[in-house]
Structure 1
Amino acid sequence: TTPTNDNALDKLLTILADQPQQSDARELLSEINDSYFELAYQAVLNNNHKQAEQFAESVTTVRHKVALVDDRLLTYLADHSEMTVSLLLGGLSEQVRAAVANNNRSLAKRLIQLTDVLMPDHRIVSELHEILADMPVTGQVVTDKMGVATVLITPPAGHTIKYGFYITPTEITYAQYQKFRQATQRPLQKCHSLLKSNLIFSARNLDNVGFALDDDMPVVCVTWQDAVDYAEWLSQQTGHTYRLPKLSEWRFLQNQTTAPKNCGQSNVAGSEFPDKKEDVSYYDCDDGYPRLSPVRAFASEGLGLYGIYGNAAEWIAGCEQPGKLKSFFSPEKPCGQNPVVGLSWVSDRNATGGLSYIDYGDAYSHIGFRLIRQ
């Protein structure tokens, strides 16, 4: 089809305009048409959708030029490309369904549009639109039989995360975690505190965190392993698969939500902080909560999420392998350290909520977790 007005397609169509039944010209035209469908099919198989769209444009060019010469040739081409087109439509349909299953609306829409360009008004286009119409939308909340709610988050087109995911809008609460404790007789863990008045932490645990911990507050004083095992237990109870977020997923949430612009709009360390240290830059307002707050005490930061910028820092997926010395003395520990992100009620102005690592098995009174439901 290139260069314009001086290519094999144009020359064949010139012949067919005078001799519509010229068999050699018709066969060559069919080969050109079929080759573009085949190239589009291979591009789809390789998930190279940009290239598939380019070949679809070539199919459109062939179709348009043929129609200007003789509409009957379109029927001839359709009959001779039926097998390739069938494979192509099957591949596109499969990928649309996979995109829908992964909650990737932008990719599903792109693939349906590609299908419509390749085969305008084909019945499969309507069928795929129906599948898309039944797809959950961003912000949709689903609740499992244990009462754990999750909200659907879908990254925009072109993002490195190619799938949508459901995530708990808040950290897992004390009440939610207590169901796990009671069902499994989970032992309590010693709990560290960053407060200078609580240097002796041996008596601290989830039943004695050092302050009031209400049912609707984030569960803290739990280890990374506690969080992982809770996710596994919840998966068994509900039939869904729960897990800790990956760093990339948590960073996406942080980038897509809005940090509070005014002091007092999230639970961080301000004038109400109970245990001030010298030379620490605390916020100069009172957010009303000297320690933890209920998970929905402050407005959503966007996407239907709460607590991204305060209240409790959060465990995320990751297991740093222990060194040889730790492995020798503690062979039962699968990890050396585990990752934590986010701000909390102990965060001052200089805190960024960046990635940090905590020794495996340690628990803190400012670290909780939220979960992704797959």
Structure 2
Amino acid sequence: MDDPTPADAHVEPLPQINGYRLLRQLGRGGMSTVYLAEQTALGREVAIKVMAPQALADEVSRRRFENEVRTIARLEHPHIVRIHELGRTKDGLPYYSMPHLARGHLGELDFTRDEAGAVEIAIALLAALEYAHSRGVVHRDVKPENVLFDEAGRPLLADFGIALRRGFGPRVTTAGLAVGSTAYMAPEQARGEDVDGRADLYSLGVVIWEMLAGRLPYEAADALSMALAHAQQPIPKLPAHLRHWQRFMYRALAKSADSRFQTTAEMREAMLAVRPPRWLPAWDRVRDVIGSPAMRWGAGIAAVALLGWGVASVWPRGGNDGFFHVPNAPLAAAPDTEAAPDPTDRMLAPLPGADIEMAVSRGRAQIARNALTTPEGDNALATVLEAWTNHPDDPRVKALSTDLDTALRTKTVAAVKGNDDARARDLAGHTEQLARATGQRGDAPAAADLQKALRTRFDDALAHNDRKRAQQTLVLAKDLRLAPAELTRWTREANRIEGAPRTVAGDEVADLGRGSVSPHPVTRAEYQRFVDATHRPASLCRERASLLRVFAPRTWQSPGFAQGPNDPVVCVSLQDAEAYANWLGGQAGGKFRLPSSSDSSRASADVGGRSISLWLRDCGGSCLERMVTAHSWRGRTAQEPLTANRGYDDVGFRLMRER
């Protein structure tokens, strides 16, 4: 008889489902719980996955999930776990039933000394993915725990519960995490981008690596670090006895989806073409012998003999000290031929095109860590120029060149905003070098975002009648190739500066007349003074749902793109804006508030070439939501209500003076 459950122990009740008798819990995850159950009508054991309430919080998401499960249930393949039935528990939670496969999962098996067995498993999984992809279904979570075995020992791909039909866009959990397991996740999936079957092939490549090597290709302490490793770190080297798989892995784990195997058939063909060197089977036998108890016992005797041989080989020849007798024998002549090269070295040679992928991977990693032009020999500019010289027509190299050009220009804009003229000139020079080397115009006029940063500095100098700073900005603008027509116009404006610098109020809105709305949004510098005085904490800023950004939240100090002190502050909540208005009233003597839609016709502002919406005091459905103006770089085309207690990276604010 089983021990009774203690009266004070908390036992979670099993869900109630018509037609099933739930027996016990098999496992729990963040989105669902799996139970062992008996289907009463057929008297068979099944596994039932019940979705967690927080995973599908509303009826719309539950119906969408059920539609996806119906799509997956139509998949009938010998290596895909079937879905028996879809329904809802008595509490209204969606569930589906499937066979109970009790023989464990792939992660519990060891294939490190069974390449043929690992290939057999991979072939079966490729067949399952090929079938699913042909029907528009991407698994999105291929990993060992989702490869189960039936009674006949066949591998079956399970848990298409987070799979997605092409065209639905990326899926995220309620916590904002991109679905899938980061240890096996393709870089584009970790970034929250749309994915296709090539993401599944990347994950399968990681699974194959782990089966062969007994470990993952990348190791990290947390989910974010693991995702960054897959996105940025070069593809590592396999152990020496697995070198013949290295070329395959260069393609399977390519950072760019376009550089990977494009289809399951292509990946299968490349995998079947991998051949181990002739010496590997013999080495496996030697390794087995070395590991035996008898061999370990004999190793001591061998060590003593080897030591004796070593001493004898270095002892002075021609004498006998009574301990060793070494005859006077001439040394053997060294052979006149070079040693034969190790045949396995050829296996490390990349597949055709893999050298490009390695260069692109290295360049992207250098851009990610801001090694754009330094250090010498390990910077993105050197990588791109070398790759362009060798492969000028390859689209991957062209894309990398474009990414570097964007990064250089972004850093140049930041240097202008930070008044670091020397850095701005240096970066601009490297940008021209890249343009000339890649056949672009090295003397092209400054881009719009760079011109805007220069103009902001120039306008600030004009506002303060600061002739010296205006002239410095003009010289910098010329060096950064501002359009000649703009230079002429700016020069005329600078020449009109006369007299002593006039006093400008600390905040533009402090000089407003009663009933007036500030012509420009509150800037980062103005908001910084408020934060320094009040120590107000930064609000959580809404951002694009992506695994990498969930672990690196945005605030008004770091909204996700470069800003200068005179740019409009974003990522502040409506409550932050009202607190700023109250503080400013105490500083400037007066009363300030957010404008309503009837107070101002200004629908948007601009920050770093990005149009932003502005908070309004008007309530939305309730005053927990407030309206924002139309037209932002996020695609906002009309006024709409937003939650008032959080910031948005495309929303700033103006103020109106009441008295």
Q: What TM-score do you get using the length of structure 2 for normalisation?
A: 0.22
For the pair shown, the structure with the greater C-alpha radius of gyration is: 2
**Which of 1 and 2 has higher RCO (CA within 8 Å, sep 6+)?**
1
